[in-house]
């Protein structure tokens, strides 16, 4: 797409206006990259797991429970940073789409302005062919009364058309200036969003790298024991949750959309967790839930925190399959309730999409993506 600033000259546009349009033109050209399918910001690549140093040994008697707690904190921090990254990516997508719309408006405005200038040029050429005299002067020189009357009507029509043309030219130029200003502002937002996204990515990678380094220092037997400790902690929390009798109060049935969302989510069981991923081969926690509901025909926010903020809150005893359970005080994790006290979720790096107990983590609350009544 080739656009030149000179296209906007010749109608009283000053240097300041040319600067705005030049900015817009730059944006339009740049958007040929932004708007191209598959050229949005690259999805993050899996973080390579560090390998233990040769001959590395651990201090005897190291408390694996303390290691488990430390790993939990690191992965929780990574989950929060992942939410920041996903939110920044979602905003970037929205801002890119808005820039594309503005670019299209600018292109249409340029085409319209070019046609208007052609019409203005044709009018000027007609006047030149008439000896440079305006139509009113030719009319006054006429000796034929009928010709005078006919000419007077044509002059009025010509004056009205010329006035309309000038007004349309002015409005089109003003529209182009406004589009250019909006595009410039939107571009600045996009740049700020890209910086926020990059910062969030660094946070995620830092936390995951620290966790993977800690795990890599464990012997194979210790890693196996650590996995057992994780299961024991989750099982203990689930047992306490079930012991409250809450499951006796939960009897909601899934809506049609809810059934579709559950079917999608459970079909992903066994696929690896990957932060920032939305499938189809890997997922993070909110990537799984958002894609499951999209498959059911209901678009929902991308991140667990926005799902908590924007979706309808319901009481735990009223939840039904397809509802989303938000975990931890900072809403940094989300899972889908599938019934019988179970959830499907993408837990963390190094794990796969799996079934787990709904009470295996601290519950913040429950949200419902759809408003349909259950069958």
Please, what are the domains in the chain? 5-38+62-216 (1.10.287), 220-368 (3.90.1720.10)
Q: What is the mean pLDDT of residues 30-36?
A: 39
Three-state DSSP class for 292?
A: helix
Greatest mean pLDDT range, 110-124, 243-257, 321-335? 321-335
Spatial separation of the C-alpha atoms in residues 31 and 348, rounded to whole Å? 35
Cβ within 8 Å of residue 182, ≥6 positions away: 102
Tokens of 344: 């499907």
Average pLDDT over residues 335-346: 96
CA distance 88 to 276: 11
Average pLDDT, the chain: 73
Of the candidates 305, 301, 312, the residue with the CA atom closest to the CA atom of residue 326: 305
3-class DSSP assignment, residue 283: strand
> Tokens 């926010």 map to which residue?
301
Model-level pTM?
0.56
Region 60-86: mean pLDDT is 72
Q: How many CB atoms lie within 10 A of CB 121?
A: 11
What letter would DSSP give residue 14?
-
Rounded distance, CA 356 to CA 337, Å?
10
Choose from 71-85, 123-137, 170-184, 258-272 the range with maximum mean pLDDT.
258-272
Q: Does residue 334 contact residue 79 with C-beta atoms inside 8 Å?
A: no
Per the DSSP assignment, residues forming a β-bridge with 325 are: 335, 366
Higher pLDDT, 21 or 373: 373
Non-local (6+) Cβ contacts of 8 within 8 A are: 17, 18, 21, 110, 113, 173, 176
Least confident segment among 33-42, 128-137, 233-242, 259-268: 33-42
In whole angstroms, give the CA distance from residue 259 to residue 298. Answer: 12
Of 126-130, 135-139, 348-352, give the range with the top mean pLDDT. 348-352
pLDDT tens digits for range 198-213: 777 777 777 777 777 8
> 121 pLDDT band (50/70/90 cuts)?
low
Q: What is the structure's pLDDT at 93?
A: 74
Model confidence over 227-281: pLDDT tens digits? 888 888 899 999 999 998 888 888 889 999 999 999 999 999 999 999 889 999 9
Strand partners, 333: 327
The token pair that represents 11 in the structure block:
């109608």
- Which pLDDT value is given to residue 360? 93
203, 84 contact by CB (below 8 A):
yes
pLDDT at 47 over 50: no
Residue 366 and residue 375: Cα distance in Å, rounded?
Answer: 20
Query: How many helices and strands (H and E) does the chain possess?
Result: 9, 6
Residues 121 and 117: their CA atoms lie apart, in Å, by 6
Is residue 345 helix, strand or coil? strand
Tell me, what's the pLDDT at 122?
Answer: 64
- Averaged pLDDT for residues 131-155: 52
| Residues facing 272 on adjacent strands | 352
Our measurement of the distance from residue 32's CA atom to the centroid of its chain's CA atoms, rounded to an integer in Å, reads 19
Write the CA distances from 174 to 16, 34, 82, 100, 110, integer angstroms.
Answer: 13, 26, 42, 20, 12
Cα–Cα distance measured from residue 121 to residue 116, given in angstroms and rounded to the nearest whole number: 9
Residue 147 is predicted with a pLDDT of: 53
pLDDT recorded at residue 207 = 77
Question: Which pLDDT belongs to residue 27?
Answer: 44
CA–CA gap between residue 234 and residue 327 (Å, rounded): 13
Strand partners, 336: 324, 344
Asked if the bond preceding 104 is cis, omega within 30° of 0, the reply is no
């Amino acid at each position: 797409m080739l656009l030149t600033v000179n296209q906007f000259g010749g109608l009283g546009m000053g240097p300041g206006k040319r600067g705005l349009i030049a900015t817009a033109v730059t944006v339009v050209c740049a958007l040929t990259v932004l708007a191209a399918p598959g050229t949005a910001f690259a999805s993050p690549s899996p973080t390579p797991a560090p390998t233990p140093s040769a001959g590395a040994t651990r201090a005897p008697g190291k408390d694996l429970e303390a290691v488990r707690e430390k790993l939990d904190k690191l992965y929780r921090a990574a989950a929060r940073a992942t939410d920041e990254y996903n939110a920044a990516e979602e905003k970037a997508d929205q801002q890119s789409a808005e820039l594309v719309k503005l670019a299209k408006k600018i292109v249409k405005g340029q085409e319209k302005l070019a046609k208007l200038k052609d019409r203005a040029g044709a009018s000027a050429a007609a006047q030149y062919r008439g000896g440079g005299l305006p139509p009113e002067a030719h009319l006054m020189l006429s000796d034929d009364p009928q010709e005078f009357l006919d000419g007077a009507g044509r002059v009025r029509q010509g004056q009205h058309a010329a006035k309309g043309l000038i007004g349309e030219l002015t409005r089109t130029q003003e529209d182009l200036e406004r589009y250019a200003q909006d595009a410039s502002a939107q571009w600045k937002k996009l740049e700020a969003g890209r910086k926020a996204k990059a910062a969030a990515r660094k946070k995620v990678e830092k936390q995951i790298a620290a966790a993977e380094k800690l795990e890599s220092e464990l012997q194979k037997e210790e890693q196996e024991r650590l996995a057992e400790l994780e299961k024991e902690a989750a099982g203990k929390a689930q047992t306490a949750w079930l012991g409250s009798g809450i499951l006796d109060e939960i009897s909601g049935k899934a809506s049609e959309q809810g059934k579709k969302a559950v079917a999608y989510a459970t079909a992903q069981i066994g696929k690896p967790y990957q932060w920032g991923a939305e499938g189809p081969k890997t997922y993070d926690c909110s990537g799984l839930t958002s894609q499951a509901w999209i498959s059911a025909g209901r678009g929902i926010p991308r991140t667990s925190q926005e799902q908590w903020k924007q979706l309808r809150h319901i009481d735990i005893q009223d939840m039904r399959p397809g509802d989303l359970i938000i975990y931890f005080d900072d809403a940094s994790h989300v899972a889908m309730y599938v019934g019988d006290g179970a959830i499907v979720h993408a837990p963390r790096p190094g794990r796969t999409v799996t079934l787990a107990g709904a009470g295996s983590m601290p519950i913040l609350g429950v949200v419902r993506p759809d408003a349909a009544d259950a069958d």
